[in-house]
Amino acid sequence: MPASLRPGDWEVPLDEVIYFDNAATSWPKPPEVTEAMVRFLNEIGANPGRSGHRMAVEAGRVVYEAREAIAELFNAPDPLRVVFGSNATEALNLVLRGYLRPGDHVVTSSVEHNAVMRPLRALERQGVEITVVGCAPDGTLDPADVLAAIRSNTVLVVLNHASNVVGTILPVAEVAAQVRAQLIAPLPAPLLVVDAAQTAGAVPIDVQADGIDLLVFTGHKSLHGPTGTGGLVIGERVDLARLEPLKRGGTGSRSEHEEQPDFLPDKYESGTVNAVGLAGLTAGVRWVLKQGVEAIRAREEALTRRLIDGLRAIPGVTVYGTLDPARQTATVSFSIAGMEPSEVGLRLDEEFAIMCRVGLHCAPAAHRTIGTFPTGTVRFSLGAFNTAEEVDRALEAVERLAGDTRRRTHSARRMMHQAGYEQQGG
């Protein structure tokens, strides 16, 4: 009997489910990910870096292999400058809360996720100055606007690599190049912090060529690892003495001291790391490397074009963003005239077994930018395992819903017209 979803009193065979929520977390995972995690639990299981016996040594090797895989994927020269945590949000909090001081100035964009905006707003109340550079309604950002916002006390420029709402890819490499070219010594160029939660594994990233000083990533999206994994790649320009740890505690190193170690990665990795999760993350990253990020990107771009073109052809449907798959990820937001996004999402799930996300997507600033606040949108986010057939089935479903709405609207108008006609004695 095939596996199935069974929420409440209905069930759907998994092979009939269309999973379009990869921007939240990717599904399914490559089988290698599950196999690596099961192997770790069954054959290794020890605490990395805490003991000298062979199982602990093997656990430590698993964690280091995860650093090597991340470094290879992002062309980071030193695996020890890859710091792991539970997700991208934790890594962003480490950077923002650890680096910024009262009186510092930070520049960010108007399409950021709350993982950036909420820590920044909290720091603003403590004296950190913030400039939010406006993006265009399609989510695009002009690097010149970022450059114009920089002041003498600007220490960080924080940008997501791609919007989690409309998928628009921000020109982070161009921003880095222009900022560094225009600033005059001895004024140091601000550090560029890039939130790659939506792009790591789906869009090529080279921290050296792109001028990225701090790259934030999560493991459970396009890196195809499990939830509870993520971290930070720290560039050479970062002052480690200034970047304070988010937490302090046991690291397995320098146990004779009651002060936190000052070297990487131990300074920022207190407590037992999620070793079984990192085993899965390594397998996910190795799968991405084997497929090739460029090949994954090309395939998702083709599916995105098919989806955007199909949605735009349906009367009553509005698609947001650039409408250009070459300028965005495989994340597409849309709305249906006359229907709340919550109603669309519920019907897509219950009637068509299409899993998507609706609402504000933890990014109210982005929705204000594209003009969909406070209602939000319906978001289809495709991944490496989606197919053209699934896109076509989803388009048929959206067309059905939009058609139902048009018929309801037409019927309501006809009834109102008839009522008015009768009142006039017609």
Determine which one of 318, 362, 364, 373 is catalytic.
Answer: 362
CATH 3.40.640.10 given to domain 31-291: yes
Say how far apart CA 235 and CA 339 lie, in whole Å: 47
For the chain, where do the domains classified as CATH 3.90.1150.10 start and end?
4-22+293-412
* Distances 340 to 8, 26, 245 between C-alpha atoms, Å: 23, 25, 43
Please classify residue 209 by burial: count the beta carbons closer than 10 Å to its beta carbon, then call 0-12 exposed, 13-18 middle and 19+ buried. exposed
> Containing H/E element for 18?
strand 18-19
pLDDT tens-digit profile of 317-359? 999 999 999 999 999 999 999 999 999 999 999 999 999 999 9
- Could you tell me how far CA 264 lies from the centroid of its own chain? 25
Would you tell me which CATH number, out of the four given (3.40.50.300, 3.30.70.2860, 2.60.120.260, 3.90.1150.10), belongs to the domain 4-22+293-412? Answer: 3.90.1150.10
Mention every residue, 6+ apart, whose C-beta is less than 8 A from residue 179. Answer: 146, 147, 150, 157, 189, 190, 192
The answer to whether 356 is a known catalytic residue is no
Residue 34 is encoded by which pair of tokens? Answer: 């599950």
For the chain, where do the domains classified as CATH 3.40.640.10 start and end?
31-291
Indicate the residue type of 341.
Answer: P
Residue 425 is encoded by which pair of tokens? Answer: 């004695």
Residue 24 is encoded by which pair of tokens? Answer: 């939240």
Residue 123 is encoded by which pair of tokens? Answer: 């720091």
Indicate the residue type of 415.
Answer: M
Indicate the residue type of 52.
Answer: G
Mention every residue, 6+ apart, whose C-beta is less than 8 A from residue 106. Answer: 96, 100, 120, 128, 129, 130, 131, 154, 155, 156, 157, 158
Per-residue tens of pLDDT for the chain, all 426 residues:
357 666 555 678 888 999 999 999 999 999 999 999 999 999 999 999 888 899 999 999 999 999 999 999 999 999 999 999 999 999 999 999 999 999 999 999 999 999 999 999 999 999 999 999 999 999 999 999 999 999 999 999 999 999 999 999 999 999 999 998 876 555 678 999 999 999 999 999 999 999 999 999 999 999 999 999 999 999 999 999 999 999 999 898 888 898 999 999 999 999 999 999 999 999 999 999 999 999 999 999 999 999 999 999 999 999 999 999 999 999 999 999 999 999 999 999 999 999 999 999 999 999 999 999 999 999 999 999 999 999 999 999 999 999 987 777 655 555 554 545 445 555
286: left (phi over 0), alpha (psi -120 to 50) or beta: alpha
